[in-house]
Structure 1
Amino acid sequence: MIKRMLFLVLLSSIVLVACNNQTNGINESDIGNPTVKEILTKNNDADIFVLNGVVYSNAEDIEWVNEMELTLGKDIGEIKKQTQESDEFENFTASKLPVGTKIYEPVEKGDIYIVQVNDKERRYLGLREG
């Protein structure tokens, strides 16, 4: 009888541990920064560009980004290609910004870049997971 109860306790413990290790339907390979394909699939009108493998999105509707005191820093490059095709994106490719648009890193470094279009500054926020 004691052996049987011990066996049931052990079996129950194994089942509980196994259930606890499930990822709640999240595939670990899905965890990471958002991709151009994911963003354009959800919103084909998204205003984005890629820099160093990270997607940056127009942040004009994000209040806290626009309230930040940022000073235009060094010119880190310019948009080299414009496309809506996710598989054509690489560094310095944009969905809306025209070719030749300069990208600036603010002096107050962070995950925000500033571009100038028609003498107007626009801020872009890096889309990073976590």
Structure 2
Amino acid sequence: MSSGNPTAADILIDNPEADIFLLNGIVYSNAGDLDWVMEKDWTAGEEVAEITRQTAESNEFTSGTATILPVGTSIYQTEEPSGLYIAIVNNEEIPYIGLREG
């Protein structure tokens, strides 16, 4: 892995099936399997982004690119600061957490 925050390439080399998106230089990963995330009732706040591209090719990742989320998916901040975003797909809220070094 590279130094600093993980990149899409860092994640996809270890897990080509990873459910991630890139926003403002930070990779966000599906956090639906993390107990501490699922135990809390997160509320979607302001819309901050939209998925503009879908690919599994790490060299094609730019801000707004996702591996699994469909193009047009809205991304929302949570109402309380947490480093967690919520994507809404087919009326289902899916939590994503930022992958940061340190």
Quote the residue 1:103 is aligned against. Answer: 75
| Distance apart, 1:59 and its partner CA | 0.5
Correspondence for 1:48 among 17, 20, 25: 20
1:83 aligns with 2:55: yes
Deviation beyond 4 Å, 4+ runs, structure 1: none
Correspondence for 1:70 among 42, 47, 57: 42
Aligned pairs (5 A) from 1:13-52 = 30-52=2-24
Which one has the bigger helix percentage?
1
TM-score normalised to structure 1 length: 0.75
Q: Percent identity?
A: 53
Aligned residues: 102
TM-score normalised to structure 2 length: 0.95
Gapped regions of structure 1 (runs ≥ 5): 1-29
RMSD: 1.3
Correspondence for 1:124 among 90, 96, 102: 96
Which one has the bigger strand percentage?
2
Quote the residue 2:32 is aligned against. Answer: 60
Gapped regions of structure 2 (runs ≥ 5): none
Report the Cα distance in structure 2 between the residues aligned to 1:110 and 1:90, rounded to whole angstroms.
23
